[in-house]
Structure 1
Amino acid sequence: MVLGSGSLQKKRGNGDEGEVWLVGEACAADGEGIMVVAKELEMEGKDGVLELRLRVPDVRQALKGLMRKREVGEFVSGALAGAMTKAVLAPLETIRTRMVVGVGSKHITSNFLEIIEHRGWQGLWAGNTINMLRIIPTQAIELATFECVKRTVISAQEKWKEEGGPKLQIGHVNIDLSFSWVSPVAVGGAAAGIVSTLVCHPLEVIKDRLTVNREAYPSIGLAFRKIYRDDGIGGLYAGISPTLIGMLPYSTCYYFMYDSIKRSYCRAHKKKALNRAELLLVGALSGLTASTISFPLEVSRKRLMVGSLQGKCPPHMAAALAEVVREEGLMGLYRGWGASSLKVMPNSGITWMFYELWKDILLVERSHL
């Protein structure tokens, strides 16, 4: 059977959101009298009238269901936290960059007033679009990876505790591979740093090229194509080795310190969760601690990067560290630590504050992690 020509009518289903009915009179089909109906359609007939129910996918409901998933909520929370943090701290980043490259006054207040005078308030957010494009995926991937790996390790340790962990036998010696002594937070932090660096390092390379030589690289798309054409995939991952070496201890320590300080503070004050001001403080302290511990690696990484530009690059990170100690003493390993701390502390604190805020909003139906 088929619907008579020109007899179609459209109406909504009875209370079933996303359902549309097509109604028309039935008549015999030519030939075999067979009508093929897609699986998305439901056909009912009564008194010579056919009703075709077309089930339209409910996109809004699907998105709501997707956002209820913990992993998706954490990923989106990380992206929003990164974007909001960069938006808040963009003026400080602009002033810091001008002072590092020697543009304008050497004093923060004077540099701030110079920007306002020549470019207006918008000048404080100059170049923030590039930073946004870099930090949003980086922060989303990093925080989502941390949460996912931490939960996976905790689950595996609990399972191995109940059922017995894997063992490796070498002769008469049995080696327990359950790794019950390993901190899930430290493992999650290490994985977060490695994964986010591997995925987003090309964005860092493009940002640096745009910052250093805007004439040669006028846009993100042109910069990507030019780097890929000249140097291939390797050009997009220039400096990845020292970056990973420096990122691993920083990221591991950063997440471990955040979790440890947070738990200790809650235990001491008999609280289940921190308020926004406390999250800001704990995040800032964790960032400061991690930066202090890993700062010598950051100094050697910068020495490797600058040396490659000047044609006298040390062969590896250990050589760069030895060169710094030989030329400037042990204190040279912490040169610039103060300025770096002024950037790291508010960045870390604000990121954690916004991240926990968005998790509370997006994962409101779930219990507190």
Structure 2
Amino acid sequence: MILIRKSMAFESQSLKKEKKYSGVFEDVYSMAILPKELELEKESHPKFELRFQLPDLIQPIREFSRTREVREFLSGALAGAMTKAVLAPLETIRTRMVVGVGSRHISGSFLEVIEKQGWQGLWAGNAVNMIRIIPTQAIEFATFECVKRAMTSTQEKWKQAESHKVQIGPVSLNLSISWISPVAVAGAAAGVVSTLVCHPLEVLKDRLTVSPEAYPSLSIAISKIYKEGGIGACYSGLSPTLIGMLPYSTCYYFMYEKMKKSYCQAKNKESLNRPEMLLVGALAGFTASTISFPLEVARKRLMVGALQGKCPPHMAAALSEVIREEGLLGLYRGWGASCLKVMPSSGITWMFYEAWKDILLVQRNSL
């Protein structure tokens, strides 16, 4: 018995030693003995890992937001939003008088809106007007500043170059672009670009303002306009708008910059204060609106003519229709209401724009 127990103990010890070099597969009676070198090689085999690293976009976005162009864009958006929130009632009255809806007098039109729709009617279409004015003013001011700087830089480079001459026999012609006003070119470009981008919102705003019964909400207005004429209906009146925008926008920006510069030179000042910006901006808007107002009347007739079942085919037809029905004075119908809206609007817009631009650009330089 002693010998048997010793042999069994010996066998158990030998089995423990073999486990150091073996791998066990569940069944203790079936063991595969592997060399130690193969086990070490198996454990040291590297694992395959697949890693993805997303690009760091925070820094480029931060740098982009600090650029001058972006801050001018934001200044225009904020200025437009704040101005329209205050002056929405005047915009409603002006639109109704221009297109010939309701009373021909400012006070009468004002009372009509309140009687039919309440005080809220004075802000009819203001939601889409806010949606319209924020991108419109942002694009307009940003385009104006960018084109003005580019045009000024081009003129300076053109002056430094001496090769812009044409020799025709004994006659030498010096090709100069110094006579072109960078402000006028930038103003025209600002009006055209903002109009092309935001014209459908202008159509929606006018439909909601003039006929709230037919277009009670923004979604219904979009659906009806699209069913009536598709995408083209969203750009109804685009041609007269662009034609009317050129003189208005050019004069508007040119007059503001010219009066601002002249006033600062006369008073020996570097910049205007806020009340002076308000006054100069109002005068610039008054001048531009007076010059281009007949085209504004034709534009409004084309944009909302479909509501009355008689839409002139083009701007010349709209102008002749107004003259035939109301005489030459009909071209300035609603001019008083327009001035009441345009003058404070342009003045407040310039004041807010210059204020926001100073804040954002000063903040940019301090960072």
What's the TM-score, normalizing by structure 2?
0.74
Letter in 2 for 1:187: V
SS of match in other structure, 1:137:
helix
Is 1:31 the counterpart of 2:45? The answer is yes
Aligned Cα RMSD in Å? Answer: 3.7
User: Is the CA contact (8 Å cut-off) linking 2:283 and 2:343 kept in structure 1?
Assistant: yes
The CA distance in 2 between the partners of 1:237 and 1:173, in whole Å, is: 49
Query: Runs of 5+ in structure 2 lacking a partner?
Result: 1-41
Tell me what 1:198 maps to: 196
Matches within 5 A, 1:20-169: 31-33=45-47, 38=52, 57=56, 59=58, 64-94=62-92, 101-102=101-102, 107=107, 111=111, 114=114, 125-164=123-162
Shift in Å at residue 118 of structure 1? 8.1
Alignment deviations for residues 20-72 of structure 1 (CA, whole Å, 9 cap, x no partner): xxxxxxxx9863356555556xxxxxxxxxxxxxxx9584x665533321110
The 1-side partners of 2:52 and 2:237 are apart by 54
Cα shift at 1:302: 3.7
1:46 match? none
Point out the more displaced range, 266-275 or 127-136.
Answer: 127-136
Tell me the distance in 1 between the aligned counterparts of 2:169 and 2:227: 54
Q: Give SS of 2:358's match.
A: helix
Q: Secondary structure at the match of 1:107?
A: helix
Alpha-carbon distance in 2 for matches of 1:31, 1:217 = 73
| Distance in 2 separating the partners of 1:113 and 1:220 | 19
Residue type matched to 1:235 in 2?
Answer: A
Secondary structure of the equivalent of 1:364? helix
8 A contact 1:165–1:177 mirrored in 2? no
- CA drift at 1:337: 1.7
**Mapped contact 1:70–1:363 kept (Cα < 8 A):** yes
Residues 289, 342 of structure 2: 8 Å contact kept: yes
Contact in 1 for aligned 2:190/2:249 (Cα 8 Å)? yes
Post-superposition shift, 1:126? 4.6
CA-to-aligned-CA distance 1:168-201 (integer Å, 9 cap, x gap): 7899987766522110000001001111111001
Counterpart of 1:334 in structure 2 is: 332
1:220 positional shift: 2.9
Q: Report the alpha carbon displacement of residue 205 of structure 1 after superposing the two structures with TM.
A: 1.6
Matched, 1:243 2:214: no
Amino acid aligned to 2:292? S
Structure 1 counterpart of 2:258, one-letter code: S
> What residue in structure 2 maps to residue 49 of structure 1?
none
Q: Percent identity?
A: 68
1:67/1:362 contact within 8 Å kept: no
Distance in 2 between the 1:112 and 1:223 partners? 23
* Change beyond 3 A, Cα 1:327–1:237: closer
Q: 1:223 aligns with which of 221, 227, 233?
A: 221
Distance change in 2, residues 1:171/1:325 (3 Å) = farther
For 1:32, give the aligned amino acid: P
Structure showing greater radius of gyration is: 2
The separation in 1 between residues aligned to 2:159 and 2:93, in whole angstroms, is 52
Aligned to 1:261: 259
**2:282–2:342: 8 Å Cα contact kept in structure 1?**
yes
Residue by residue over 1:235-277, the C-alpha shift from the partner in whole angstroms, topping out at 9 and shown as x without a partner, is 2111111111111111111111111011001111011111110
TM-aligned CA deviation for residue 79 of structure 1: 0.5
Question: Of the candidates 341, 344, 358, which is equivalent to residue 342 of structure 2?
Answer: 344
- Cα distance change of structure 1 residues 144 and 307 upon mapping to structure 2, 3 Å threshold: same
Q: Which structure shows the bigger proportion of residues in strand conformation? A: 1
C-alpha distance in structure 2 between counterparts of 1:289 and 1:118, whole Å: 33
Q: How far 1:153 moved relative to its partner?
A: 0.6
Larger RCO (CA within 8 A; separation ≥ 6): 2
Amino acid at match of 2:345: N
Q: Tell me how far 1:295 sits from its aligned partner.
A: 1.6
Q: Report how far residue 312 of structure 1 moved.
A: 5.5
- How many residue pairs were aligned? 321
Letter aligned with residue 268 of structure 2:
K
1:211 aligns with 209
Conservation of the 8 A alpha-carbon contact between 1:145 and 1:188: yes
**In structure 1, what residue type is equivalent to 2:339?**
S
Change (3 A) 1:150 1:140: same
What letter is aligned with 1:111? L
Residues 1:173 and 1:216: Cα distance change in structure 2 (over 3 Å): farther
Q: CA deviation at 1:221?
A: 3.9
Deviation at 1:304, TM superposition (A): 4.3
Q: Deviations over 1:311-363 (max 9, x none)?
A: 65555434544554555554443332222111110010000000001101111
Q: Gaps spanning 5+ residues in structure 1: where?
A: 1-27, 41-55
| 3-state SS in 1 of match to 2:87 | helix
Are 2:281 and 2:343, in contact at CA under 8 Å, matched by a contact in 1? Answer: yes
Structure 1 residue matching 2:102: 3-state secondary structure: coil
